[in-house]
Amino acid sequence: MLLWVGLGNPGAEHARNRHNIGFMALDAIAARYGFAPWRNRFRGLLAEGVVGGRKVLALKPQTWMNLSGESVQAAMAFFRLPLDAVTVFHDELDLAAGKVRVKKGGGNAGHNGLRSITQHCGGPDFWRVRLGIGHPGEKERVTAHVLGDFAKSDREWVETLLDRIAEAAPLLAEGRPDQFMNKMAGGTSVVPPAPPA
């Protein structure tokens, strides 16, 4: 059994924020593979399904980003899951918009959701699917960028990216992260529009 966690903030006003791309990725996966309806559990929304022949629990913590670990820890404890059964889908400032990387463990790079999971769940050695949202260029603009909505001009590449994540998800479930990244890197190009000068 695998626990796939999408990071974001609850509430309709945050639904299109760049910070919520983790929620969006899980929604795309759950829709593609016919997961059971979302229900309130573990201070989050939980849906169950099968991807790549593996049972997957999809969890969207509803605790606010900086307390995400409380929800994840509760689910891990209930299902008696080890940390390496957990994969977290999250936004990544340090990746160009539309890029995807997978890694196990590592630092939190200032991401409050990752920090909370590390603190509550026994360390950093969970899997991360890093979803690039790009950097605004100046440190002072980071908060507004992360908590801002994707622009209308972003919609096409974001939807393409989410669709390709869902399509490639069985490779993650099968424990083949390198093939997942290869599949994400190939095929239809995901190229965001150039930022305004």
CATH number, domain with residue 77: 3.40.50.1470
- Does residue 81 fall inside a structural domain? yes
pLDDT band at 42 (very low <50, low <70, confident <90, very high): very high
What integer pLDDT is reported at residue 192 of this predicted model? 56
- The yes-or-no verdict on residue 194 having pLDDT over 70 is no
Predicted pLDDT of residue 8: 96
Q: Could you tell me if residue 191 is inside a domain?
A: no
For the question of residue 90 being annotated catalytic, the response is no
Q: Is the pLDDT at 22 greater than 90, yes or no?
A: yes
**Average confidence (pLDDT) over 137-148:** 92
User: Domain tally for the chain?
Assistant: 1
pLDDT category at 193 given cuts 50, 70, 90 is low
Task: Tell me which of 14, 19, 135, 145 is the catalytic residue.
Answer: 19
Q: What is the pTM of this model?
A: 0.93
Q: What is the mean pLDDT of residues 70-74?
A: 98
In-domain check, residue 192: no
Of 92, 96, 90, 88, residue with least CA distance to 189: 96
Residue 92 is assigned to a structural domain of this protein: yes
Q: Is there a contact between 9 and 62 (Cβ–Cβ < 8 Å)?
A: no
Residue count of the chain, please give it: 197
197, part of any domain: no
Using the predicted structure, report yes or no on whether residue 83 has a pLDDT greater than 50.
yes
- Asked whether 123 and 82 are in contact (CB, 8 A), the reply is no
pLDDT at residue 126, as a whole number: 97
3-state secondary structure of 67: helix
For residue 157, give every residue at least 6 positions away whose Cβ sits within 8 Å of its Cβ, in sequence order, or none.
97, 98, 190, 191, 192, 193
Kindly tell me if the per-residue pLDDT of 168 is higher than 70: yes
In a domain, 165, yes or no: yes
86 in a domain, yes or no? Answer: yes
Residue 32 has pLDDT above 60, yes or no: yes
Q: Is residue 190 part of a domain?
A: no
